[in-house]
Amino acid sequence: MTVDDLQIRSATAEDRAAVLAFCHQTWSWGDYIEEVWADWLADPSGSLRVGEVAGEPVALCKLTMLNPQEAWLEGLRISPSQRGRGYSYPLIADSVALAQARGAQVIRMATGSGNQPVHRTAASLGFRAVACFTPYEAEGQPAQSDEEPLVSFRLLLPADEEATWQWIATSPLYKANGGLYGSGWSWLALDRARLRDHLAKRQVVARLLTEGQSRPPFLHTIAETGWRKNRSDNSIATAAIHSLAIITGVEVESGMEVGYADCISHEGQETADYALLGTTLRRAAASLSPPRLSIMLPDAPGVEAGFARAGYQRDAAEGSSLTVFEQRLLEPASS
């Protein structure tokens, strides 16, 4: 058989049993396709595709439109009996064409950092690797009485947008991350508009050095509702920010999700500074139910070591590193 034997089409409800049959042992613990199948099939803006050989589904791929500009390719699966035939190439190419047809400016995907066959296929289709991340998790832990440094962490406010954006935009880690941040198991561009949205939702926490102590104390407010009413017209200075994290979600079933964590440290201090940031996030998560948090950590000096020192561990089920690839389809319109 050759690549030409693979016929790609939209998935139907009748494909479910055949797809789940070749997906159920993707990892040692199984796969998540069964849990998302109905939602993926019903997604009005994306597209769930199957590849079939001789009328039998043997491959799967999902295109998700994270927003009108950013497309995400996920759920790439090929039946174990059909691997090595080059089927990933037409599946990925099909998703690129669909993203272009929907007007996306960029398409991204993530795959295991050791999955060299997919890396080569992505490169041959015009994708480039932009960053590497590893999933970590930790349980919330109540603050100890002797943790005085943690009080310097405060929630930033909409008035702090200019200073916060300048801090992020000039950060070496932000550039090393390709300007991306995590949201679940996908990555989006962290731009000023998204920062503005997170500030409005009170999801940005920072360690402040010299000013801004009028900001709401982070540890005392994450599980409360009153802090959302806090207002301030006075902006902090960019130089006041030492460390920063963006909380992308607080869900009843999964706890806290952190999409971005960054520190600007003196040489040799990275591990200690990231450990303090990681500890603060654990203290905040202790007030949640369930008291747990997850974070995608980039491959950068001091980051993983610091969070490990703070008690974080690689996700037991998804502990391998992921490489994020992207392909620019259309350049953003100039403002």
190, 143: one domain: yes
| Residue 253 within any structural domain of the chain | yes
Please give the pLDDT value at position 235. 82
Per-residue pLDDT reduced to its tens digit, 299-325: 888 999 999 999 999 976 666 899 999
314, 194: one domain: yes
Please give the pLDDT value at position 335. 40
- The CATH number that applies at residue 65 is 3.40.630.30
Low-confidence ranges of the chain (pLDDT < 70): 1-2, 145-149, 211-213, 219-233, 252, 316-319, 331-335
148, 94: one domain: no
Please give the pLDDT value at position 93. 97
Domain count, the chain: 2
210, 260: one domain: yes
| Residue 147 within any structural domain of the chain | yes
The domain of 166 spans 136-323
| Residue 206 within any structural domain of the chain | yes
| Residue 267 within any structural domain of the chain | yes
| Residue 332 within any structural domain of the chain | no
295, 149: one domain: yes
Please give the pLDDT value at position 102. 95
Please give the pLDDT value at position 64. 98
Please give the pLDDT value at position 226. 45
95, 163: one domain: no
User: Three-state SS string across the chain, please?
Assistant: CCHHHCEEEECCHHHHHHHHHHHCCCECCECCHHHHHHHHHHCCCCEEEEEEECCEEEEEEEEEECCCCEEEEEEEEECHHHCCCCCHHHHHHHHHHHHHHCCCCEEEEEEECCCHHHHHHHHHCCCEEEEEEEEEEEECCCCCCCCHHHHHEEECCHHHHHHHHHHHHCCHHHHHCCCEEEECCEEEECCHHHHHHHHHCCCEEEEECCCCCCCCEHHHCCCCCHHHHCCCCCCCCHHHEEEEEEEEEEECCCEEEEEEEEECCCCCCHHHHHHHHHHHHHHHHCCCCCCEEEEEEECCCCHHHHHHHCCCEECCCCCCCEEEEEEECCCCCCC
221, 319: one domain: yes
